[in-house]
A and B are shown apart, each in its own frame.
Chain A
Amino acid sequence: MTTIVFNRRTLLAAGGAVLASGVSGLLLPARAEGLAPTPSMRGGTNNYREGAAIVDRIGKGGFWMTGTVRRAGDGAPLAGQRIQIWAHTTEGQEHEPQSHGATLTDKNGVFRLEMPQIIPVFGQPHGHLAYDSGEFKAVFLRPVMRSAKETSLEAHFVLQPV
């Protein structure tokens, strides 16, 4: 089990690195004004469960995860994109199914999902978000809250077509 997770992450990390170095090196001069794709963050895939259901709210709520999804290059907002969200909250640990949920972006490319309060785990209060639907390259984010007392967190995606 561990091996699979490790391989997957290594692959993603390597892919991210190639993406970051290769793409910026090769394409950036050609479209200097274009919006660069968001790279995946270290540890972003940790405790990911593929295919979390689209929900109105994760658990009892009380905390807001918000953000935007745009297209790399022209920055156009992307509607109907599925963003998966998970974290260690007052209602469950990171790996537990009840800590996972997904939502769709609206016509302005904005997503907003209510979830239980995130609490510090492994030394940092942080959440996880993933775009992993296939149309664009997968991106895994792991934003950290400025304070464990905050009741919201945001993360923004700039996606690159496959």
Chain B
Amino acid sequence: MPTQQWRSARTALIWVALAAAIGVPIAAAALSPLLAWRDAVYILAGFAGIIALGLVLVQPLLIGGYLPGLSAYRGRRAHHWIGGALVVAVVLHVGGLWFTSPPDMIDALTFSSPTPFSPFGVIAMWAIFAVAIIAALRRRLGLRARTWRIVHMPLAIVIVAGSVVHAILIEGTMETVSKAALCALVLGATIKVMVDLQVWRTRGTLRGENR
């Protein structure tokens, strides 16, 4: 009986922790004094970026099976859908910033920006788009699990590293401590899943993988 209780308490705790890891930075950013001097589009663009960072945390947790109550199959399905949501969030982020100040966004996209964090964000963006496109075409291209992993893992590392450096270097609406904590969790979850799933192994498939 105590085991059963502990299990459900643990399940609840993990989900609450995840909600806090993503919710607290968003709530803290919502209290930022900078918002007073931004218009709706700029605010939306900023929060789309924060949400995107939160989604980057969810991805390794889903694929690693660390979120209790989700079967391996459902975890993978959710990973796919959240990948799509990540693309939407990034498009809103970039689109909103372009609308806010076209020359600054053009500088960023052409890698001629004075801000050191811009290229990291732009590189992560292209890696996200690349993963999404290849994932959508995976079946049509006939990519096997192993080939897919070889393509996805380096891009996943670029996405995580690029997003984290991008976020940390920005002086914006995110509160420093909650931002650093979220970034640390993103890095930790990514390293853990790559170790646990032995993504660099040369053969074979793990639980729930196709083919």
Q: Is A142's CB under 8 angstroms from B172's CB?
A: no
Given known A123-B115, A148-B171, contact A46–B103 (CB-CB < 8 A)? yes
Q: How far is the CA of A121 from the CA of B171 in the complex (A)?
A: 8
Minimal beta-carbon separation of B210 from chain A (angstroms): 41
Q: Is A122's CB under 8 angstroms from B101's CB?
A: yes
Q: Which of A54-62, A88-96, A150-158 participates in binding chain B?
A: A88-96
Q: Is B170's CB under 8 angstroms from A123's CB?
A: yes
Given known A42-B112, A43-B114, A90-B37, contact A123–B101 (CB-CB < 8 A)? no
Q: Which of A98-119 contact B (CB under 8 A)?
A: 119
Q: Is A122's CB under 8 angstroms from B112's CB?
A: no
Q: Is B97 an interface residue (CB 8 A)?
A: yes
Q: Is A133 an interface residue (CB 8 A)?
A: no
Q: Which of A1-37 contact B (CB under 8 A)?
A: 1-2, 5-6, 9, 13
Q: Is A119's CB under 8 angstroms from B34's CB?
A: yes
Q: Say which residue of A43, A120, A144, A148 sits within 8 Å of B103 (CB atoms).
A: A43
Which residues on the B side are within 8 Å of A127 (C-beta)?
A: none
Interface bits B11-55 vs A (CB < 8 Å: 1, else 0): 000000000000000000000001001010000000000000000
Given known A2-B102, A93-B39, contact A125–B114 (CB-CB < 8 A)? no
Q: Which residue of B lies closest to A123 (CB)?
A: B170
Which residues on the A side are within 8 Å of B115 (C-beta)?
A: 43, 122-124
Q: How far is the CA of A50 from the CA of B100 in the complex (A)?
A: 20
Q: Is A47 an interface residue (CB 8 A)?
A: yes
Given known A5-B102, A88-B37, A95-B101, contact A123–B107 (CB-CB < 8 A)? no
Q: Say which residue of B37, B39, B97, B106 sits within 8 Å of A122 (CB atoms).
A: B97
Minimal beta-carbon separation of A10 from chain B (angstroms): 9
Which residues on the B side are within 8 Å of A122 (C-beta)?
A: 97, 101, 104, 115
Q: Is A6's CB under 8 angstroms from B172's CB?
A: no
Residue among A43, A93, A122, A148 with max Cβ neighbours from chain B (10 Å)? A122
Q: Say which residue of B37, B106, B169 sits within 8 Å of A123 (CB atoms).
A: B169
Q: Is A84 an interface residue (CB 8 A)?
A: no
Q: How far is the CA of A89 from the CA of B100 in the complex (A)?
A: 14
Minimal beta-carbon separation of A120 from chain B (angstroms): 5
Q: How far is the CA of A46 from the CA of B102 in the complex (A)?
A: 9
Interfacial residues, chain B to chain A (CB-CB below 8 A): 34, 37, 39, 97, 100-104, 106-107, 112-115, 117-118, 169-172
Apart from A5-B102, A94-B101: 15 A-B pairs, beta carbons within 8 A: A2-B102, A2-B106, A6-B103, A6-B106, A13-B112, A43-B104, A43-B107, A43-B115, A46-B104, A47-B104, A89-B37, A119-B34, A120-B34, A120-B172, A121-B101
